[in-house]
Structure 1
Amino acid sequence: MTQPVPWNDLQDFLAIARSGQLARAAAAMGVDATTIGRRLRRLEARLGRTLFEQTREGQVLTEAGEALLAQVERMARAADAIASDGATGTLTGVLRVSVSEGFGAFFVARHLPAFAQAHPGLTVDLVASSGFLSPSRREADVAVLLARPRSGPLVAAKLSDYALHLYAARDYLAAHPAPTRATLGTQHRLVGYIPDLLYAPELRYLDDIDARLVPHLRSSSIQAQARLIESGAGIGVLPHFIAGANPALVRVLPDIAIRRAFWLVTHRDTRRLARVRAFRAWLADLVARHRAELLG
């Protein structure tokens, strides 16, 4: 008689499939990479199939692994539904949300405690960094991206437009001539991204003003750029939701306005999970109520 496969082993398999790397899966499961690797070999031996191929990037599902993944994800969704949609309606488990550094730190983080308070049984991972986790590879349950994905098993909806403008510190403006388009980058030092470290083409803000403009003080972090501008280092482009409410910053050259968009993205197989649905609805409502903060 074939022995049943322990659910814990299948959860380990799911973590590896979603993260694509043993180390990431081990961190997610709270064990070390050696342990999760041993468990994977045990599962493969029990099933008599190779589930992953080892590549330089990590673990890639084989055909047998893809077939098993479809079954395990159905089981995970059923388990999640039991945990999340029980008699009390309490959400449980872990929700991982990937957002850009600025949107995460300056907008989502300010309001997230209200969501957490409404769902005390849910653990929320807010991954706000220079770069995005991929819902397609199941690294995140929800992602807020700067462009609509062109491929993959994803469901995307436009969350909101947002506005960006040129800003400078009040002290900087008091000590320098009034900036003009012609003096940007010459009489006025520019603050911006490091071109070869951009994680999305939508971050090439200065190109919207003049493709010849090059920042003199550069950082991969929008938070660091905001601090540089606030400290009087120069003039730079910042989202209105970062700079608009900062009394130390002044919008300059008000005829220059840049617009970008946020896209709310989930994997099509997990978009109906209760915790994902709840967060999507909460974030859409939050953005609708604070539209002026985003659009300026």
Structure 2
Amino acid sequence: MNWDDLRIFLAVARAQRLSRAAATLEMDATTVSRRLRKLETTLALRLFEHAPTGHMLTEDGQRLLDQVERMEAEALDIAGTQPNGMGLAGTLRVSASEGFGTRIIAPRLQGFTSRFPNIQIDLIASSGFLSPSRREVDVAVMLARPRAGPLVASKLTDYALGLYATRAYLAAAPPLRQPADLLGHRMTGYVGDQIYAPELRYLAEIDRRLAPQVRSTSINAQAEMIAGGHVCGILPCFIGDAMPGLERLLRDTIDIQRSFWLVVPRDLRGLPRIDRFLGWLVEEMQPLRHAMHGTSQTPAAPSRRVLPRSIPGDSEST
């Protein structure tokens, strides 16, 4: 096996069509196809599936792409140059909590995908996390720093949670002057035996006697129930402040603090598509600082800044 064969593989993985790859390489498409078959024979692996949309990487092909991109990145670092956005390709699986994934990442993701159109993003935004330790995911935004595992972690941002309700709810409910008054109110919250992270057990921080009457595993569902005017509840401020009609209550006495952590398998750091995504997300969070801390009413509009290659403050779990 030689670098020329890997260079051809890289071009096809990024272009996803033999004709486009051949034009980039200034080679005949038949020659490109023959060299790919030779590489697959040498490695005893099937690297591509032939689909209507073109040549799609198999799992073995994706693993080889990770290795070849790392080789390319190191070579470009030696040469003092970096690949442009069109040069990066592959799949990037991102796991995030439902609220952060749907309210923060999803509305801004076009800023990344327009810069890197050949990177396929799988955004897993749900009540729970895929495990970076088991390589179920390439990047995870988690509620706590992992204590063990072959992982690299960096704090992305702190954020605040507060008590929210509508004016209609407050008009029909008993007076609410202090946290203890919540015992006489209808609240929404998580389903107790379905809570996937201890950081979500924040009602006990207010009063251990509190028990929500209407529960859901979904923070978005809880937000909609509060907006419906029949219950009050705790929401991240980046959700509650952005929803018309919701008011934050008892701001001086109910101010819950949490953090989001960026977590990546150690052996994936240094891959260009991973580092570019991490840098993009860190940059996107900078103008959202006030919204995350509950000191402004609405999150800032998605930005279109130049993307750095890495994130500051990495620390490793062992």
TM-score, structure 1 normalization: 0.74
| Cα separation, partners in 2 of 1:295 and 1:79, compared to 1, 3 Å | same
Q: Residues of 2 paired with 1:270 and 1:82: CA distance?
A: 13
In structure 1, give the amino acid aligned to 2:44: P
Q: Partner of 2:212 in structure 1?
A: 215
Shift of 1:110: 1.3
In structure 1, give the amino acid aligned to 2:276: A
Q: Residues of 1 paired with 2:197 and 2:212: CA distance?
A: 17
In structure 2, give the amino acid aligned to 1:146: L
In structure 2, give the amino acid aligned to 1:258: I
SS in structure 2 opposite 1:185?
helix
User: What CA RMSD, in Å, does the superposition of the two structures yield over aligned residues?
Assistant: 2.5
Q: Residues of 2 paired with 1:127 and 1:29: CA distance?
A: 20
Q: Partner of 1:279 in structure 2?
A: 277
In structure 1, give the amino acid aligned to 2:286: A
Contact 1:191–1:233 (8 Å) recurs in 2: no
Shift of 1:246: 1.6
In structure 1, give the amino acid aligned to 2:189: G
Contact 1:159–1:262 (8 Å) recurs in 2: yes
Q: Residues of 2 paired with 1:228 and 1:243: CA distance?
A: 12
Q: Partner of 1:16 in structure 2?
A: none
Structure 1 gap segments, 5+ residues each: 13-27, 31-35, 37-68
Q: Percent identity, aligned pairs only?
A: 49
Q: Residues of 1 paired with 2:132 and 2:219: CA distance?
A: 23
Within a 5 Å distance, the mapping from 1:2-151 to structure 2 comes to 4-8=42-46, 75-81=64-70, 88-89=84-85, 90-151=87-148
Contact 2:70–2:270 (8 Å) recurs in 1: no
SS in structure 1 opposite 2:183?
coil
In structure 2, give the amino acid aligned to 1:97: V
Contact 2:180–2:207 (8 Å) recurs in 1: no
Shift of 1:94: 0.7
SS in structure 1 opposite 2:259?
strand
Q: Partner of 1:250 in structure 2?
A: 247
Q: Deviations over 1:54-101 (max 9, x none)?
A: xxxxxxxxxxxxxxx9xx96x543323468878645211111100000
SS in structure 1 opposite 2:267?
coil
Pair 1:263-2:261 in alignment: yes
SS in structure 2 opposite 1:290?
helix
Shift of 1:7: 3.0
Q: Residues of 2 paired with 1:222 and 1:210: CA distance?
A: 20
SS in structure 2 opposite 1:120?
coil
Contact 1:83–1:91 (8 Å) recurs in 2: no
For residue 171 of structure 1, the aligned residue among 162, 168, 171 is 168
In structure 2, give the amino acid aligned to 1:268: R
Shift of 1:207: 1.1
Pair 1:193-2:187 in alignment: no
For residue 233 of structure 2, the aligned residue among 227, 232, 236 is 236
SS in structure 1 opposite 2:46?
helix
In structure 2, give the amino acid aligned to 1:273: L
In structure 2, give the amino acid aligned to 1:166: L
In structure 2, give the amino acid aligned to 1:6: A
